[in-house]
């Protein structure tokens, strides 16, 4: 039986303990993001409204309170994406409240009616094929650490993995027999198998032999670990990438963007597949996108293919101006132009 008079602490506890992991089946990362939203919201209410977290009730919610919180986030310098993520978490809570606690139905409807803020279309930051090759040349593969870093960068690019997927790879997820593949553990526990190039498979094979990771006992170990031999973090992957990106930028500034993240290598792989003529639907499946519309950003950003297509389209239409007479040879026309603006 539904409890119509539940307080905020009770409702929020049920939301996090039962609704999100049970009914919604959300991942631990998403739940952690929702948790951060309510920590920030309660801190905001304490500082601006004078309502202590332990005294906060659902009845304290209003449309103006939530929009004020969202404006506060933007004033702190948070992006529109972050603002929208916080709103999505709050709306998810009130989607739960309106059914579980009908006494707050009107408040829930007011807050559910707040719209996400439109954000500019992001610029796809990616490396050219030459830039990617330059980056992969930077680690010193004669050193044990350098070989590991080269493998990390090569696999991040070749698999198109998200950084969270890369750090979760275990030895047992890798198949080196032809055709070589790797199992990636994606968002919301959505796994996918992606192909690996022969070169990347060879690099992995050598690494496993050198690191003594070919035994059956090693199957459950993470492929990439830190100095404490525990799972490598996102921060660790970013550090490795930016270290070698700096070196590559010194070598050829034009090929390496100033701002580079692990996701940039995922973008690079998608763009190179598209430029090679691979259909968007296959790129969608390769990247693990749930909607083709997400993958379409690469088609919109692919200026190289657009330029080639336009050049082909213009060829039979645009005249060869090299065969046209020079206007300098037309004395009457030049005279006309010289006299045009004279008083």
Q: What is the CATH number of the domain that holds 261?
A: 1.10.443.10
Which distant-in-sequence residues (6+ apart) come within 8 Å of 194 by Cβ?
A: 159, 160, 161, 181, 182, 184, 286
Residues 195 and 279 in one domain: yes
Q: Which position among 83, 86, 284, 289 bears the catalytic label?
A: 289
Q: Which position among 14, 24, 187, 234 bears the catalytic label?
A: 187
The answer to whether 263 is a known catalytic residue is yes
Q: Of 79, 112, 145, which marks where a domain is finished?
A: 112
Q: Which position among 266, 269, 272, 284 bears the catalytic label?
A: 266
- 213 located within any domain: yes
Q: Which position among 63, 98, 192, 263 bears the catalytic label?
A: 263
Q: Which position among 148, 162, 168, 269 bears the catalytic label?
A: 162
The answer to whether 175 is a known catalytic residue is no
pLDDT band, very low/low/confident/very high, at 74 (cuts 50, 70, 90)? very high
pLDDT at position 319 over 90: no
Domain count, the chain: 2
Given a contact cutoff of 8 angstroms between Cβ atoms, the answer to whether 157 and 285 are in contact is: no
pLDDT at position 148 over 90: yes
166-213: pLDDT as tens digits = 999 999 999 999 899 999 998 777 899 999 999 999 999 999 999 999
Cα–Cα–Cα angle for 24, 26, 31, rounded to 5 degrees: 120
pLDDT at 312: 47
Q: How many CB atoms lie within 10 A of CB 230?
A: 9
Residues 139 and 288 in one domain: yes
pLDDT at position 338 over 70: no
Q: What is the distance, to the nearest Å, from the Cα of residue 119 to the centroid of all Cα atoms in its chain?
A: 15
Residues 98 and 159 in one domain: no
Mean pLDDT of 284-291: 85
Given a contact cutoff of 8 angstroms between Cβ atoms, the answer to whether 170 and 223 are in contact is: yes
Residues 173 and 105 in one domain: no
Q: Would you call 228 helix, strand, or coil by DSSP?
A: coil
241-255: pLDDT as tens digits = 999 999 999 988 888
Report the distance separating Cα 131 and Cα 253, nearest Å.
10
Mean pLDDT of 75-87: 93
The answer to whether 86 is a known catalytic residue is no
Segments forming the whole domain that contains residue 38? 8-112
pLDDT band, very low/low/confident/very high, at 266 (cuts 50, 70, 90)? very high
The answer to whether 298 is a known catalytic residue is yes
Does residue 122 have a cis peptide bond before it, meaning omega lies within 30 degrees of 0? Answer: no
pLDDT at position 310 over 90: no
- 340 located within any domain: no
pTM: 0.62
Mean pLDDT of 304-318: 50
Q: How far is CA 76 from CA 72, 83, 152, in A?
A: 6, 11, 35
């Amino acid at each position: 039986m539904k409890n119509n008079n539940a307080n905020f602490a009770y409702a929020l506890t049920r939301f996090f303990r039962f609704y999100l992991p049970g009914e919604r089946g959300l991942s631990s990362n998403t739940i952690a993001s929702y948790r951060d939203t309510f920590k920030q919201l309660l801190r905001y209410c304490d500082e601006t409204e004078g309502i202590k977290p332990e005294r906060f009730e659902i009845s304290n919610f209003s449309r103006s309170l939530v929009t004020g919180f969202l404006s506060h986030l933007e004033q702190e310098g948070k992006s529109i994406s972050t603002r929208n993520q916080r709103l999505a978490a709050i709306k998810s809570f009130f989607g739960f409240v309106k059914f579980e606690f009908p006494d707050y139905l009107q408040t829930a409807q007011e807050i559910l009616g707040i719209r996400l803020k439109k954000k500019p279309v992001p610029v796809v930051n990616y490396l050219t094929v030459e830039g990617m090759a330059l980056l992969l040349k930077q680690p010193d593969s004669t050193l044990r650490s350098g070989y590991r870093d080269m493998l990390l960068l090569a696999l991040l690019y070749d698999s198109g993995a998200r950084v969270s997927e890369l750090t979760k790879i275990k030895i047992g997820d890798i198949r080196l027999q032809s055709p070589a593949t790797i199992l990636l553990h994606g968002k919301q526990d959505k796994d996918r198998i992606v192909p690996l190039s022969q070169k990347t498979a060879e690099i992995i094979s050598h690494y496993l032999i050198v690191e003594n990771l070919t035994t059956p006992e090693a199957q459950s170990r993470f492929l990439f670990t830190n100095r404490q031999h525990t799972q490598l973090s996102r921060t660790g992957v970013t550090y490795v990438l930016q270290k070698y990106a700096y070196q590559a930028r010194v070598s050829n500034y034009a090929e390496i963007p100033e701002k580079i993240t692990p996701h940039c290598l995922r973008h690079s792989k998608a763009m190179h597949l598209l430029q090679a003529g691979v259909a968007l639907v296959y790129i969608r499946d390769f990247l693990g996108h749930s909607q083709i519309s997400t993958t379409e950003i690469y088609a919109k950003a692919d200026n190289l293919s657009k330029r080639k297509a336009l050049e082909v389209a213009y060829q039979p239409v645009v005249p060869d101006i090299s065969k046209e007479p020079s206007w300098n040879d037309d004395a009457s026309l030049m005279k006309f132009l010289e006299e045009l603006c004279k008083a």
